[in-house]
């Protein structure tokens, strides 16, 4: 397992996102959320494979509670959770205490805003709340989950933001076009990458894509041709692209069952190393994907 060092903290570059633990999540999810027993198996397995970083949120149904039970016996763990902007403004300490209790922890490694709404009207009082959470040892780092380039620019400029979660995948390459990785490194902010497989769209068979999101079908076809050319699966190619491009960032992956967890880690441990010409080909082939495809909020 590869690791990223952030201010002396060692975090597994491949990290587990747990939205599936609490919600029926993803366009390719046909089985629903896993049972507690299955979640325990997933967490135990990935931990044994060197993953120590886990991402959850208050908005992910009962994901915090499920994850809290699953990580109970794991000693090396870095936990990030999220709160909505209104929850941060109304009573952030009470809400963080709720997350900490759900997870069976004393404090969070990171607390993220689940949306960037208050970044547009950030106040001194907001800064004081972040400082207070650190003073009482409820969080170590503070950050935000962003969705647009405007969100990202505000996060970079805000000195209280230390962690930034972004969407990035073969079909959504705004992070490259707008130099998010470079800007984050210059500002000593840690990037977490979500949606590597675009909520499962990049792994769906072409028949199901035609039914659920037909406008994406031609791009999935291009992806399949590229996989044939490089002699690898879609999972491997999508993961390789993100890993090769985002050297100092953490990669979040989710899974519904232990088989998916094993497949993702196996692929990660045997990633294809892409050269510049291959990265450029992949970049150019998918650079102009319409937002209606790369942005799940636009899906019908």
* DSSP per-residue codes, 120-181: GG--HHHHHHHHHHHHTTSEEEEEEE--SHHHHHHHHH-TT--EEEEE--SS--HHHHTTHH
**Selected residue with higher pLDDT from 101 and 287:** 101
| Percent of the chain's residues with pLDDT above 70 | 97
Q: Is it the case that residue 119 has pLDDT exceeding 80?
A: yes
Q: What is the mean pLDDT of residues 40-45?
A: 96
Beta-strand pair 78-83/3-6: unpaired
Q: Is it the case that residue 176 has pLDDT exceeding 90?
A: yes
Q: Tens of pLDDT along 249-283?
A: 999 998 889 998 998 899 899 888 889 999 999 99
For the chain, the average pLDDT equals 93
Q: Is it the case that residue 74 has pLDDT exceeding 80?
A: yes
Assign 247 a pLDDT band (cuts: 50, 70, 90): confident
Rounded Cα–Cα distance for residues 281 and 289 (Å):
14
Rounded Cα–Cα distance for residues 108 and 92 (Å):
13
| Cβ contacts of 130 within 8 Å, gap of 6 or more | 142, 160
Number of residues that make up the chain? 300
pLDDT at 28: 46
Rounded Cα–Cα distance for residues 9 and 17 (Å):
19
Q: Tens of pLDDT along 184-235?
A: 999 999 999 999 999 889 999 889 999 999 999 999 999 999 999 999 899 8
Please choose, from the candidates 56, 26, 27, 14, the residue with its C-alpha nearest in 3D space to the C-alpha of residue 39.
56
Please choose, from the candidates 140, 133, 154, the residue with its C-alpha nearest in 3D space to the C-alpha of residue 91.
133
pLDDT at 27: 47
What would you measure as the largest C-alpha separation in the chain, in angstroms? 54
């Amino acid at each position: 397992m590869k690791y990223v060092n952030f201010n002396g903290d060692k975090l597994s570059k491949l990290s587990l996102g747990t939205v599936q633990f609490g919600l029926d999540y993803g366009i390719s999810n046909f089985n629903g959320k896993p049972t507690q027993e299955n979640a325990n198996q997933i967490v135990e397995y990935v931990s044994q494979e060197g993953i120590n970083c886990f991402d959850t949120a208050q908005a992910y149904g009962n994901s915090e509670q499920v994850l809290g039970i699953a990580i109970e016996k794991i000693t090396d763990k870095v936990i990030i959770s999220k709160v909505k902007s209104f929850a941060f403004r109304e009573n952030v300490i009470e809400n963080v205490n709720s997350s900490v209790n759900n997870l069976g922890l004393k404090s969070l490694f990171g607390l993220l805003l689940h949306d960037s709404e208050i970044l547009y009207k950030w106040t001194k009082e907001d800064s004081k709340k972040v400082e207070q959470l650190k003073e009482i040892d409820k969080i170590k780092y503070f950050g935000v989950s962003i969705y647009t380039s405007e969100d990202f620019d505000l996060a970079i400029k805000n000195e209280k933001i230390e962690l930034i979660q972004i969407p990035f995948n073969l079909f959504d390459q705004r992070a490259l076009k707008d130099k998010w990785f470079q800007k984050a490194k210059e500002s000593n902010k840690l990037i977490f990458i979500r949606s590597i497989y675009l909520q499962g769209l990049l792994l769906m068979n072409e028949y199901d894509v035609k039914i659920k999101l037909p406008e994406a079908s031609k791009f999935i076809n291009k992806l399949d041709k590229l996989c044939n050319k490089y002699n690898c699966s879609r999972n491997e190619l999508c993961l390789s692209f993100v890993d090769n491009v985002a050297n100092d960032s953490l990669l979040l992956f989710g899974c519904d069952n232990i088989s998916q967890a094993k497949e993702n880690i196996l692929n990660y441990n045997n990633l294809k190393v892409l050269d510049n010409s291959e990265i450029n080909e992949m970049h150019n082939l998918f650079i102009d994907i319409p937002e209606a495809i790369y942005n799940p909020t636009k899906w019908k």
